[in-house]
Structure formats: C-alpha cells, structure tokens
Chains A and B, each alone.
Chain A
C-alpha cells in the first residue's frame, strides 16, 4: 500500500494506521473470498431450487467461518454477500454483530455497508441496540457529513423508543447544523423520534420553526413534514404553529408563481412534492379554524385553478388541494369548485385518478350531498369499470347517494349491477339494496318488486336477513299478496337451484296465499291461462326431490305443500303421497315433519284446516325499518367523514388488519402471564394518559387501574371474572395497536356493558368518548361465543332512534370459533345528548340452524351520552 494515499483519508489517525497494518498481515494469512458479483452469478446459474440452496449453504458456511476468524479485511464483502442471501429469503441474523463491527471501522466503505446491513438485518426489536446506539452517537459527531448522514439515515430507519430517547439531543443539535445536507436528515430523524416517543417533541420545537425560513427545498420539505407530525400529535403544538400559515402561503405562492426552475420541475410543475406537503399542513392548520381558513382560501383557489392537469403530477396537487378545501372552513364557492374537480377526475382516462376521485367523493358525500349528486350519472358509470376497487368504491358511493327522489332510477342501475356483479359483491349489494328500499321506497308494490328482483339477481349470495325481511313485508302488505304470489310463482317455475333464498320466499308465500294464486282475481291481465293445482304440485315435486335444494329450502317447501292442502279445492291425494315419502327421509328433521304432516291427513284430519290457517300479518318491527333511517348494516361501510374526520378513520384502521396479529399475540401473552412485567409495562405505558379520566367505581377499569399502579406485582384479581378479563385484554390490545400504529391521543374510557347474552352468545359493548368530538360515542362491540360449537355467518345489526346517527364499520370476522371473539366498531353521533337507546339484531348459524334474535339495549351509562 502506498503511504501517500493516506493523505486522502479524512479520518486519518493512529487507529487507521493500526487497521492498515493488521489488514496487511491478515491478507497474507487469509485467502481472498469470492466476490459479490461472482456469488450472484453462481446463484443465478443454479438450475433448481436445491442447487441454489447448495450454493448458498456452502457460502454461508464459509462466511460464518470468516466471522469466527475475525477477518476484518473482507468483512464488508462478506456482509454484502450475506445481504444478498438475506434478500433471497435465507436466514442471515448471524451477520448482525458483524455489521456493528463494520460500522465501528474507520473505512467509509465498511461504514456504508455496515449501516446498510444494520438497516436490513436489525430492526427496533433487536437487543443489539445498546451497541448500535453507541456507534451512532460516535458517528453523529463525525466531521465527515456523509458519515453523519449514514448515521441519521439508520437512526431514522430503525430507531426504537430507547434509542430515540438516548439520541434525541444529538439530533436536535444537528437540526441546527450549518450544513443543509445534515439539517434535512436531522429534521426527518426528529420526525421519526416523535413518532416513536411523542413526549420528546418539546426539545425539537425551538429548532423546528427556523427550518421554514430556508431556501433549500430539502430542508423545507423535511421541516414541513416534521411540523405536520407535531401538529397531529398535540393540540397545543397545533395552535402554536397557527402563526406559520402566512409563511406557508407565501412559500406555496412562490412555488406556483416563480418561473421555470429546472432543479425542481416535474413536467411543468414546480416541486410537487413540496406543494403537496404544504397543502397537507395547511389542511391540518385550517381545520375548525375560521381565521386560518380565511388566510388560505385565496391560495387554495389559485392552486385549484392554475394547476396544469394533463399529467398525473398536476392531478396529484389538485387532489391534495381538494382534500384541503373539504377539510377546512372554506368558502362555499371553493367547495363547489373542489367537487367539480372531482367530477372532472371521474371522466379522466387514467384509472388511478378515477379511483382517488371516488374515494374522495365518498368522504365528501356526507358534507355536501347535493354537490356530489350532480355527478351521479358519472358515478353510476363507474359501476362498469374493469377495476374491481373502482367498482367497490362506486357502489358504496351510489348507496350513499340514494334518496327518496332518485330511488327508482338508482335502483334500476344498481339492480343491473347486482345481476352482473362478481359473487364478492352480491351479498353486500343485495343487503344494501334492501336497506335503501326500506328507507326510501315510494310504495309497497315497488318495494316488493325490488325485493323480488334482488332475490332473483343475487341468487344464493343473498343473506338470510333478506329472506326474512321479504317474508315480513309480504305478510304485512295484505293488498299486494295476490300480486306478489303470482310474481313469485313465475319465478319459481323456472329452475331455481341457484336461488335457494328465492325458493324459500316463494314457497312460503305460495303456502300462505296459494288460494289467491289459483282462485283469486288475477293481478295481471295478460296472464289469461289459469294455473292449475297439478302445475303447482309438479313444481313442488321437483323442488322436494331435487338433490340440489338445501334441507332448509325443503323444510320451507314441505310445510308450504302441507298448507296448500287446505288452500286447494280439488283432492289432496297427490299432496299426501308426496308428504308420505318423507316419512322415510334420511334427514331426521325432514323425516319428522313428513311423519307428523302425514298424520294430519289421517288420524287428525279434522284438525288440519284449523292448524294450517293463514298466518296473521307478522308484526315484529324490523329494527332497520323506515322509522329508523340511521340504521346501517354491517356490509355498508360508508365513511362518515363529516362526523369523524381523518383521525376517526385512523383510529379504526389501527384496530383491524395488519396490527391484528400482534394484538393477538399480546392478548395471548396477557392471558397467559396474567401480568408479567414486560407486557404490563406496555399496557401501563399506553394507558397512562387516560387514567385521570376514568372514574374509580368502574370495576372494569379498576382492573386495569390496578395494573397501572403496581406494575411489578402479579395481578391478584386476574381470575375473578373470566369475561372481564377477556374484555380487558381486548381493550388493552386495542390500545397497544393504536399506540403502535398511529399514536392517537387516547380517548376517555367508560365502563363496558353487556348488551346481549343468550344461547351462549355474549355481546359486550366497550364505550369510548373521543375528547375531540364530544358528540360522538365509539362503541366497540365484541361478541364472544361461549358454546362449544362454532358459529358462522355471524351478522350484527343495530338501529338507533332518529335523533342519532349511527355508523358501523366492518366486523373483524363473520365466524366465531368456540371461545372466539368478533369485534365491530360502531360510532354514534348524538348531537342532542339524549339518552342512548339501541335495538340490536343478531343472526348466526350454529350446528346447521340459523338463529336470529333481537334485543333492546337501554342500559347505557349516562356518562356515555351526557
């Protein structure tokens, strides 16, 4: 090695000399390992998976041996190879410590690869963090900007809460560095640190504001990102930053008015990345603040009208602008402008732009329905889009737009859609149509026609609730029974194997009102040919003997046929014969019916007419009836942005999906350990902010409260009441997930109530009030299966009186294994603060039978609504 080369090294010192000498010695001792590119070539040349494995195993064994021998010359090459192997999915954790050794080296190549390896092989869960914290601290003080840059980048990627606490002051110092390259990275590091540990925000506040007076776009954009995060985290900081609105407006104005700047131009738009970030921060600052909104009205109008829209980048900015206009207290003219932009988006050729338009309209529809209504026909067009997610959005939006004025035209389109829709849509769509029809139907005849069309179009995908709704409606509508029974007959005459629900409704109605079908005045004139009793019997014979029909359908048909025996004028011989054949049916339930009904034709012949009389109109009030317009089923997850805003959505999003598995893990842990220290600390940490809000006499919270206070002691009350424990774990896991995913300010907690407990199904409501929205009560419904059999097709519905608004999110599942839980979130807006009442309906199948039940819930504690 040529000593003069050392002159290039910025970190030239004694350690470096030692390293060079050691390496020179080692290089003589050790053979040169395979180069990275040669390894990649070898792996790519492998013909089979087994061959690839062999190459990799051999190389891994070799790399391990070099690690054991502390080969520092080739360490970075070996780690690079290991990172490639890791990407292919092979274990590489044994390289973690070697990465730290690379980071500690003086050579830049080593550091660069070492930090890359640290980011790939470690994440915030690793125990080596203490070691890396020290390395980072050293490098954050380096005189080489790129070494500082690498350290900041790594900290931003893998910072754990402990690392954040240890290194926050270093990052704060770097935010004030004279070097823009370091300043921007430090700002984003601060952003990540605040995400992890919100309490650390304060130390960054003084250095943050000056970031906005920069010319450098990198520093500007990272500064805006940091401020956005701070504002979202704390209402105090939000009001602190209200005064920067004029600065932001000025920056934005300069961006759109300044001439062409090649450095930041993207297809004719000046720095769209920065524009979007500023628009988003303006949205947060202007929300619920008339004065701030006033200050940004002009610039938003300017952006909305002046942005070039031929490319994606222009539309990106328009999209963000629309979101801001909708969220702040903007002028009505501006809102119309925004909705019209979305209307134009719907006609755009680019499917991505149509998609975001529908998404945004869906959030807006509750704020400004009339503006959205104008684009109804375009939205209906989107039901035919080739992209399934566009169709799904369009469907949700269509249902949100249905009202009593447009129900006829909307339903026509939606029924066409239902007919052609993919199976995944049919269940939800049919239930939603039924609900809309109940709310807005112009008359009974139309309502019945619509339900019939749903049964035909959605076939077997119809949910059970539609069957019972339809039967109930027919039963109530005495004047329409003749008409509908005839319609149902025509539907039944066709092959209905793939339409079991339709067959069930039709046989029920024909059984009840068969006399109207055969001998009543014909409802439609064009049908001159009278239906004969033989025709009916032939169809029933087909239904009952076909192997394609389900047992439940056959039960309907058998009862219906028996009923018909008293409606027919001619002989019952044929009917009796068919029923007799069921006396030996393999299915016990059908066999029993067969035997019992046979007796009605023999020994108890005299009882038959009285027993089989027509049912009186069914009077049970439908919980989702027209008098409860706020009712929404599970399937319909229309987002009510008006009431909740972004945070509300986030809160819910944190609870489902991704985090779920972690939540489950921690559930299990909590149950198993019953309060081992580590888990408990987590719970404590997440719970703390809400503690003052909880009242002492609430036993459920007390359990957790106890956990909080003596976090090192085991929990003595852990087995007192199983249900409470279950509930508690569920509750705390929610908070865990919340904390992990979005650092949502913790809500005020109320006790939970048991809403329903019957047949081994227990439904508990966990009540929460959101501090930022006092009118809203968030209910987390959790249904527990306490039987030993699984429950499937679990459907929970709820309805509230008119003065409330109810929004239901999707349930976590529709299947309940024994001891399993399903949760679903309900949001109730209660502007009048009246006593909360709710009617609930549950349906599920267990052991082959469908169970349906309903109940009133009026034991809500006053704190939940006052």
Chain B
C-alpha cells in the first residue's frame, strides 16, 4: 500500500498515512486531487479507480471516506477487507465510532492503524490482538508517570 487517507464528505482530511516518501507539496497535491475525484463519483460506480499509475480503492462509511492507494499487483478486493477491518477496530475501540471521535482522538486512530499495518502491509489479522496491544499501551501511557494532569 502506498498511502491511506480518511476524509469527510465535505472534503476535509481526517487522517493521512504515507508509506512512500513524497515531498509535502506532492502529498498535498495528490490528496487534493484524489478527494475531488472521489467525491465526484456516483454511488453506483465501483470502489476502484485508476488514478495516474495507481490503483485507488475507497469506501464510504457514514460521513467518512476511507481511501487507499495500492500497487498494481495488490488485490483490490482484499484492500476493501483491510479498510473494513480498520473500521471494525475503530468501532470496537471507540464504541460505535463516529467522525467526531476520529477528529478529537486522531492520535488514537493513528495508533490503531499502526498496530494493523506496518510499512503498508498487514501485520496482525486478529482483532483481539490489535485491541490488546492498544489497551496495554494506553495503560502504559497512564502509569508511565502516574500523573494524569499530563493530558493531551
């Protein structure tokens, strides 16, 4: 996978994870163009688009679009499953997740993604294990100095 973007129906970026090195300017350009392209697509269209030399897979969950750019050799149907798995994890973690959860706790959303994927490849196929790792780290964060006033 080359990158993953989460954005709202209004076109606001909610999360971006890049597994390829691009200059900031290019990242912004790609993000902008992809958001516009995807928002303009009609619901009856497939979840895949060929964009430049990338395969882009996207899926909408409520008001959020999840969008992944993958390599030519990657399985686009499986990418849909990966997106779905991520949504399930967010849902379990936040308890019926909504866009606001991801806005106000964006760092948590990144942490969860980083336990599911590493370097753009899936690292854990058990939901339980991902959530266990996250919970343990959250705990470690709380006890690291036992000082709850250091809240973000």
Contacts and interface: CB of A to CB of B under 8 A. Distances in A.
Interface of A: 1-2, 5-6, 8-10, 20, 35-37, 40, 44, 73, 76-77, 80, 83-84, 87-89, 93, 107-109, 112-113, 116, 119-120, 123-125, 144, 146, 149, 152-153, 156-158, 160, 181, 184-185, 188-189, 191-192, 217-218, 221-222, 225, 263-264, 266, 271-274, 276, 280, 312-313, 315-316, 319-320, 351-356, 386-390, 646, 649-650, 653-654, 656-659, 661
Nearest to B73: A646
Interface of B: 13-19, 21-24, 26, 28, 42, 44-50, 52-54, 72-73, 75-78, 80-82, 85, 103-104, 106-107, 110-111, 114, 118-119, 121-129, 133, 136-137, 140-141, 143-147, 150-152
Contacts of B22: 123
Chain B interface mostly helix, strand, loop or mixed? mixed
B77 A389 contact: no
B152 A35 contact: yes
B104 A5 contact: no
Contacts of B18: 123, 157
A156 B152 contact: no
A101 to B, nearest CB: 15
Contacts of B77: 312, 315-316, 319, 352-353, 356
B21 A158 contact: yes
B104 A658 contact: no
A156 B118 contact: yes
B125 A352 contact: no
Contacts of B118: 152-153, 156-157, 185, 188-189, 222
Given A116-B107, A124-B21, A271-B125, A191 B119 contact: yes
B152 A276 contact: no
Contact of A273 (B48, B125, B129, B141): B125
Contacts of A144: 140
Nearest to B146: A5
A147 B94 CA distance: 24
A109 B119 contact: no
Contacts of B128: 263
B21 A272 contact: no
Contacts of A280: 73, 75
Contact of B146 (A8, A112, A149): A8
Contact of A188 (B50, B123, B145): B123
B123 A108 contact: no
Contacts of A191: 119, 121
A2 B146 CA distance: 8
14 contacts: A80-B107, A89-B28, A108-B140, A108-B141, A153-B118, A218-B129, A264-B126, A316-B75, A316-B78, A316-B80, A351-B45, A352-B47, A355-B48, A646-B72
Given A80-B107, A84-B106, A191-B119, 12 more contacts: A1-B145, A44-B103, A87-B15, A119-B114, A146-B137, A146-B140, A157-B118, A185-B123, A221-B125, A387-B46, A658-B54, A659-B53
A184 B81 contact: no
Given A125-B23, A221-B123, A9 B143 contact: yes
B103 A312 contact: no
A157 B129 contact: no
Contact of B125 (A108, A264, A388): A264
Given A108-B137, A113-B152, A390-B46, A656 B76 contact: no
Contacts of B119: 156-157, 188-189, 191-192
A152 B141 CA distance: 18
Contact of B145 (A9, A263, A657): A9
Contacts of A83: 106-107
Nearest to A353: B77
Contacts of B147: 1, 5
